[in-house]
Amino acid sequence: MKSKFYSVSIKFLIIQLLSVLCVSQSFDFFYFVQQWPGSYCDTSQSCCYPTSGKPAPDFSIHGLWPNNNDGSYPSNCDPNDPFDKSKISDLTGSMEKSWPSLACPSSNGLSFWSHEWDKHGTCSESVLNQHGYFQAALNLKNQVNLLQTLKTAGIQPNGESYSLESIKGAVTKGSGYTPWVECNADESGNSQLYQIYLCVDTSAANFTECPVFPKGKCGSQITFPSF
């Protein structure tokens, strides 16, 4: 009887240990990803403005994504810690401004933020709780003003085309770190500036050089559409 009890206890401890290891999954850095709303909307899929109204013409946060040096990434690490809007109630105003959803139908952003936490944020729980995760992303956005950085280099969201290298160079000069630029295609099939990735260390507080870039390719000349 005693042996059976110990056996059950050991199994329980092993399950708990495996659970902790899963939740505390390690990673090497974050991608901090911001998107240009004009490019999100100028596609065949189009977009829908949030219920709070049209966002400001500025880069907005897409996500803060744990990643590994080999290019792989963890996802959906802890189903036992689902998104809870009450944990970020003091951040809602800033989130609506800096992290709006442009997906259709129009929304208040909660489903977007829930997706980002469930898929990516739960994989950073060894460093950040829910509030800390969203606060970290807002802090990072305030550290580098991408739109002003590009404008300072003469790169304006006016529908004109700019060289990919000039965009990378402007962000590198403004942030101190090399970005990765993602493009999408407008309704006419032209390549346009969609998202800019910068890398962040595992504290989620400091930008760093990217050890690896995502896959994908932009044309040598890309459009920067208005919004």
Q: Is 131 a catalytic residue?
A: no
The residue among 193, 159, 220 whose CA lies nearest residue 36 is 193
Q: Which residue in the list 115, 120, 131, 187 is annotated as catalytic?
A: 120
Contact status, residue 109 vs residue 61, Cβ threshold 8 Å: no
Q: Which residue in the list 62, 165, 187, 209 is annotated as catalytic?
A: 62
Q: Is 120 a catalytic residue?
A: yes
CA-to-CA distance for 36 and 45, rounded, in angstroms?
Answer: 15
Q: Which residue in the list 96, 116, 125, 131 is annotated as catalytic?
A: 116
Distance of CA 113 to the CA centre of its chain: 10
State how far the alpha carbon of 133 is from the alpha carbons of 31, 76, 125, 208, in Å: 13, 15, 9, 18
CA-to-CA distance for 126 and 173, rounded, in angstroms?
Answer: 32
Which tokens hold the place of 60?
A: 């907005």
Q: Is 96 a catalytic residue?
A: no
Q: How many CB atoms lie within 10 A of CB 113?
A: 24
Give catalytic residue positions.
62, 116, 120
